Amino acid sequence: MDISEKAARCLDILEKEFPNVQIALVHKNPFELLIATMLSAQATDKLVNKVTETLFKKYKTPRDFAAAGLPEIEAAISRVNFFRNKAKSIKACSARIMDEFHGKVPDRLEGLTSLAGVGRKTANIILGNAFGKQALAVDTHVKRVAQRLGLTAAEDPDEIEGDLCAIIPQRRWTKTTRLFIQHGRKTCTARNPACDECPVNAYCDYYKKIRSPIETFEDMLKEKKQ
């Protein structure tokens, strides 16, 4: 089995495991998703959703954020980590959207990454979930799952993205991000991953190194049926 087939089989299994997986950040439009994603760095989606529920009632557009005083924005997002730096980025990002993009979030990678506080990961999240384009975003969950499965040996997120895009069909890039994130949160956690219950452990390099007497989840199911 080559690595592309391995990736395909893992994705097929994870799609059955998480058939309706969507991005967890609550948003109504590309701009709200952009701000929420910027806030989510080193913060839980649950906390970000609580913050943006109030935030987006007060500041609805890039113009609103650009016009707001920095202390006001800081106060509105003070519950998230690094809120001062994030407030600066949000204000600068919003100003650039107004000045350079006529008040609309750009729908191309180059335009998105030209915004303050927006790297390739954030840009790909916006492209895939706000604009319906195929984009593979590498966060800590995607990195961990891809490395443990043996789909990449790289450490740099951009290199991991390149490795995954080379073996996964473009039509599956956005879904891959969602599936790997969900799998990383539920099963393939950073600490104490639930390897014996993992539906893709038969294909996992990490599991082969620490495997238990019960060889795979699939074997366990076969034993139950016999």
Evaluate whether 204 touches 198 at the Cβ level (below 8 Å).
Answer: yes
If DSSP codes are grouped into helix, strand and coil, which group holds residue 125?
Answer: helix
Residue in the block written with tokens 């005083």: 69
Residue 139 among the catalytic residues: yes
Find where tokens 């390099």 sit.
Answer: 205
Is 121 labeled as catalytic in the residue annotation? yes
Select which of 6, 121, 143, 175 is catalytic: 121
In whole angstroms, what is the distance from residue 142 CA to residue 149 CA?
11
Q: Which of 86, 139, 143, 163 is catalytic?
A: 139
DSSP string, 76-103: HTTTSTTHHHHHHHHHHHHHHHHHHSTT
DSSP-derived secondary structure letter, 56: H
Q: Which residues belong to the active site?
A: 121, 139
